Amino acid sequence: MPETVERNQPQTSALDALLARAGAVATARDACRIPLHYGSAPAELAVLIRGVGMAVRPDLLVATLEGPGGALEQLCRRRLGRRLGPGGIYRQGQVWWCLAPDRTALMLLAPGQELHRLHGQLEHELRLLPQLQLDELPGIVILEVAGRFAEALLARLGAFAPAGTPASVPPHHQAVIADADVRVVLEPGIGALLAVATADAATVWRAIELAGRPLRISCVGHEALARYELARHVLPSH
């Protein structure tokens, strides 16, 4: 059963405390607590359709494949059937494949079980490409901004610096938000995933909330995010 995150419950991080104060209603899933909503999933869906929302994605874990660009390109061709350009992104099912702009690493974002399954599937490729190293990255939190004004919010946060537009940066790139290093994964028509160190997550969360106030930002849970993503695949652009 979903449970309200009470303020007097032990918190594992400063971000947990912020979610508790926001009134997150969470459920346990895959050894983590997923914020389902903050009071009303339909109201949060309306926020995404008309404005912008902010969310935390504890369901997503991070791994990296590091090695020479040529070996990473071979892997992408074998696994994805395509080449990723510098800073390119491809979503395959529940896995985001994100090539670094310098082509020295692939960042993989996926639910824990999916990432574990993928690790097993990659064993053969890694034997053929021993110069590649696959490692899971603990201590990373995935935040998400989504909705009609997501690009405007990202611009206010400096995620498109220095030019200030999404066209000026590759889909996967690094940015500095609130003095924290953030890996940005742009999701066209939806928003962006932001990978940030756990120690910086609360600071970046507050920066998102502050930058989004003129846009009437609100916290949104997984129920609204899932409905919004589905709608964006079947409805025309805003």
Q: What are phi and psi of 33, to 5 degrees?
A: -105, 120
Nearest Cα to Cα of residue 67 among 106, 39, 41, 30: 106
The conformation of residue 236, written as its DSSP 8-state character, comes to: -
Quickly list H helices, 81-111.
Answer: none
Query: 3-state secondary structure string, 130-167?
Result: CCCEEEECCCEEEEEEECCCHHHHHHHHCCCCCCCCHH
pLDDT digits (tens, 9 = 90+) for 122-179: 998 999 999 999 999 999 999 999 999 999 999 999 999 888 889 999 999 999 999 9
For tokens 């994605």, the residue is: 57
Q: Are strands 53-56 and 218-219 parallel, antiparallel or unpaired?
A: parallel
Given a cut of 50, is residue 30 above it in pLDDT?
Answer: yes
Beta bridge partners of 27: 34
Dist CA 201 CA 220 (whole Å): 17
Asked whether residue 121 carries a pLDDT value surpassing 80, the answer given is yes
The token pair at 94 is: 């529940």
* pLDDT score for 233: 66
16: left (phi over 0), alpha (psi -120 to 50) or beta: alpha
Treating both helix axes as pointing N-terminal to C-terminal, what angle do 150-157 and 198-212 enclose, rounded to 10 degrees? 110
Does pLDDT of 2 surpass 90?
no
Q: Where are the domains of the chain?
A: 63-136
With a cut of 80, say whether residue 235 has pLDDT above it: no
Nearest-10 crossing angle of helices 198-212, 14-22: 40
**61: pLDDT strictly greater than 90:** yes
